[in-house]
Amino acid sequence: MTAPELSFRYRLEAQPPRLGPGGITRGASVQQFPSSQGIAGVSMRLAPGGMREMHWHANAAEWAYVVSGNCRTTILDPDGSSAIDTFGPGDVWYFPRGWGHSIQGLGPHECHFILIFDNGDFSEDHTFSVTDWLAHTPRAALAQNLRVAPEDLAQLPRGEAYFALGPVPDDRSADATPRARPALTSRHRYPLHAQEPRRVPGGGTQRTVTVAEFPLSTTMAGSLLEIEPGAMRELHWHPNADEWQYYLEGSAEMVVFLAEGRVVVETFEAGDIGYAPMGSGHYIRNTGSGVLKVLVGFNNGHYQANDLSAWLRSNPPDVLATNLGLPRPAAEALTRQPGFLIPGP
C-alpha cells in the first residue's frame, strides 16, 4: 500500500456493468482497486419493479445512499423481527453483516444508489442469494422445509437470479401497507438530505450521519460534501477510519500524503471513486466551474477528523514559528485562520 505508483482513483462508472432483468451494477473491491484496502463499493441501478434479490453478506455490513429514484427494502433481523422501508433521494440505509435483505425499484423512474461495504475484500458477486441456495438444495429436503410437493418446485430458478424483474408495487394493494406514510426515520433508514448541514460561506456544506444519529450503523458513517467552485476540503486526516469517495457531480483534485516524502496526486470526475487510507493526509479541491458533490463513506460508526487549521490553532505561535521557520507575525496569523471548507481565491 506504500508503492509510489499506487492509484487512489478508480473509474467505477466507466467499467463494464453486470446486467440482469431490471438491474445494472458495477462494483470495486480491493481486487479491482488495490488501494482500497478497507472499504469496497458498488453503484447499482434498478428499473421500476427491478429487484436485487433476497440475500445476505457474510463478511461485510452494507451502508447505502440513494442518488435518485425510489426503492423499497425488506430486512430480517436475527432476533426474528423484520422491517419494510421505502427510500428516496438523499436517504441512507444500513444493514448489519449477515442480515437478510432485498431491494426493489418503485418507479416511476430508475433508482440509482451507492452501496458501501466495511471490508475492502468484499465482492457483490459473492453474496448468499436465496435462489442460489434453493437451487442447490436437494429437492426432497427443500420440499420438506417449504412443505410443498416436489413437483411444485419446478418453477424455481435453476441457479442464482441476482436480479429479478416483477410488477411495480402498487400503493393501493395490501402488499404496500407497510409503505403508507413512512416515518421520517426508522431503525434502518436515515434521511441525510433532511439534515441541517454544516455551512461555510463561500466554502460549501457538509451533512454527516454517524452512529450517534443512526444507532444501528455501528460500523460505518457517511458524509455528503458540497464544495463551491475553487473551494476545498482542507488538509486533514482521519485517525479512526479509511475514507471511500464517490464523486456525484463536478471535477476535483485530491492529494494523498503517505509520509516519507510520498504523495499521490489524483483528479476526479463524476462517476469516479477515490480512497484515502486511515491516517493519511489528504484534501479535496473543486477544480470545476460548478458545485462539487462527493459522497464519503467511513468504515467506523464514529466520525473523526483532524483538520490542519485546527491543529495550527491549537499550538502557541512560538511553536509554529520554530517548527515552520516563520516570522512570529506570520505564525500568529496561522492561529487565527478558519478552516474545514476553505473558500477559493
Which residues are known to be catalytic?
Answer: 52, 55, 57, 62, 101, 124
Would you say 319 and 278 are in contact if contact means Cβ atoms under 8 Å apart? no
For the chain, how are helix, strand and coil distributed in percent, rounded to 5? 15, 40, 45
Which residue is associated with the grid cell 451502508?
A: 63
Which residue is associated with the grid cell 433508514?
A: 189
Among the listed residues 33, 215, 211, the one whose alpha carbon sits nearest the alpha carbon of residue 122:
33
Could you tell me which residues come within 8 angstroms of residue 218 by beta carbon, excluding any fewer than 6 positions away? 96, 211, 301
Phi, psi dihedrals of residue 107, rounded to the nearest 5°: 75, -175
Helix (H, G, I), strand (E, B) or coil at 126: coil
Which residue is associated with the grid cell 428499473?
A: 47
Would you say 217 and 331 are in contact if contact means Cβ atoms under 8 Å apart? no
Burial 3-24 (b: 16+ CB within 10 A, else e): eeeeebbbebeeeeebebebbb
